[in-house]
Amino acid sequence: MGVPPKTTIEKERLCLHQSLRYRDQQPEDMEPKQIKEGYLVKKGTVLNSWKVVWVMLSEDGMEFFKRKTDNAPKGMIPLKGAVLTSPCQDFSKRTFVFKLRTAKNQDHYFQASHLEERESWVKDIKRVITCLQGDRKFTRKSTRRSIRLPDTINLSELYILMRDQEDGVKELKLEKEKRVYNHCFTGGTVVDWLISKDKARNRPEALMLATGLLNEGFLQPAGDLSKEASEGGAESAVLDDPDALYYFADSGFFCEGYSSDEDVILKEEFRGNIIKQGCLLKQGHRRKNWNVRKFILRDDPAYIHYYDPTKGDENPLGSIHLRGSVITAVEFVPEAKRYDVDGNLFEIITSDDTHYFLQATTPEERKEWIKAIHTVSKTGK
């Protein structure tokens, strides 16, 4: 057999080179785009226990990891054909829960640490599902919520207006049936505000809007009367009644005196307004191990409380009095164990010289927490 012409060999080499280059680039080019990541609490499918997981949302599904630093996920949830339910009210003791039902009718439950976090996840997941159904690429656009309201109504914007300190719904201290409810308001107050701000033409229309806010978790029932109405099957879950009490989901609401199982008697340190909340890694003082904790920062008095996010109750594991504290970014943690905690670390040193080491998920998040805690430590009591 003769030797192939040089031009033929060169062509074959060129084709091989292009093929290898295409093969090397293909996995990267076909890799689903990562959209969002962060801590969520997930209900187990076997033991039914709730655990903190690190979740990564991409263009075709959600992967969840035992730890943020793990390379291999514990599981993957395909989103094509999935149905999202939010708010999910299957668990009476848990708030900010949403449910994903896959195309194979497998249910997955997730819990966010606060309202804005849940809304952010829900919005992006819904968009992914919509894009998969239409075979389109993910882009962030506004989507309507599950409740039936006119397209001109944006409940998130409405909630922000209602929370305005100057022109919003006024939070009061009200006494009903030997109980004192702090940072709350009546259903009638909500209706009056909606009409006065031209958000509704009449009281029935205002009640429809208020019910939408309640169903989406922006409003919460405070007393027995309002709780019974919200759990009933009436068309309006909000009562236009001076005895029906409600509060904002992210307010400093608390009840004093005799209380039902769902109400909590809170101490003075819980009275401040919530400034910031979310999940962070915290180093333990005794064993020096690291665990994900939910943190709630309050002002006046200046406290930050931390909770086990897997528990359904509202009792904190501990608190840090921030008045006179020093907050700084750090590059390493002494005696760090079990976890690789390099990056995004910061330290709180209290006035009694107690040291707390925390880790945020991103440099931007660390900067936000340090700024918020520093402000509260200077202005709060």
Model pLDDT for residues 199-215, shown as the tens digit of each residue: 988 998 899 889 888 87
pLDDT tens column, 249-268: 777 777 766 444 333 434 56
Is residue 302 over pLDDT 60?
Answer: yes
Task: From 299, 335, 293, select the one nearest 316 (Cα to Cα).
Answer: 293
What is the reported pLDDT for 112? 93
87 or 255: whose pLDDT is higher?
87
pLDDT tens column, 274-284: 889 999 999 98
Is residue 103 over pLDDT 90?
Answer: yes
Q: What is the mean pLDDT of residues 63-70?
A: 91
What is the reported pLDDT for 16? 37
pLDDT tens column, 156-202: 889 889 988 889 999 888 887 677 888 889 999 999 999 999 998 89
> What b/e string do you get for 101-122 counting C-beta neighbours within 10 Å, with b at 16 or more?
ebeeeeebbbbbbbbbbbbebb
What is the reported pLDDT for 216? 76
Count of all residues that appear for the chain in the document: 381
What is the reported pLDDT for 140? 47
**Domain segments of the chain: what residues?**
34-133, 155-256, 268-379
pLDDT band at 287 (very low <50, low <70, confident <90, very high): confident
Domain 34-133 and domain 268-379, same fold? Reply is yes
Q: Give the DSSP H/E element, type plus range, for residue 87.
A: none
Is residue 53 over pLDDT 80?
Answer: yes
131 or 14: whose pLDDT is higher?
131
Query: Hey, what are 105's tokens?
Result: 């009718």
Of 18-22, 304-308, 339-343, where does the model show the most confidence? 304-308
| Residue 258 identity (one-letter amino acid) | Y
DSSP state of 268: G
What is the reported pLDDT for 1? 47
What is the reported pLDDT for 266? 46
What is the reported pLDDT for 137? 64
What is the reported pLDDT for 234? 57
- The yes or no reply on domain 268-379 and CATH 2.30.29.30 is yes
CB-based contact 113:10 (threshold 8 Å): no
What is the reported pLDDT for 364? 94
Instruction: Measure the CA–CA gap between 306 and 360, rounded to whole angstroms.
Output: 14
Is residue 338 over pLDDT 80?
Answer: no
Q: What is the CATH number of domain 155-256?
A: 1.10.10.10
What is the reported pLDDT for 363? 93
365 or 30: whose pLDDT is higher?
365
Q: What is the CATH number of domain 34-133?
A: 2.30.29.30
Is residue 28 over pLDDT 50?
Answer: no
Is residue 269 over pLDDT 80?
Answer: no
Task: From 43, 54, 206, select the one nearest 110 (Cα to Cα).
Answer: 43
CA of 220: how far to CAs of 62, 145, 243, in Å? 29, 18, 15
What is the reported pLDDT for 289? 87
Is residue 311 over pLDDT 80?
Answer: yes
pTM: 0.63
Q: Quick one: residue 67, left, alpha or beta (phi over 0 = left, psi -120 to 50 = alpha)?
A: beta
What is the reported pLDDT for 129? 92
What is the reported pLDDT for 231? 67
Average pLDDT, the chain: 80
Task: From 75, 86, 35, select the one nearest 53 (Cα to Cα).
Answer: 75
What is the reported pLDDT for 110? 96
What is the reported pLDDT for 31? 56
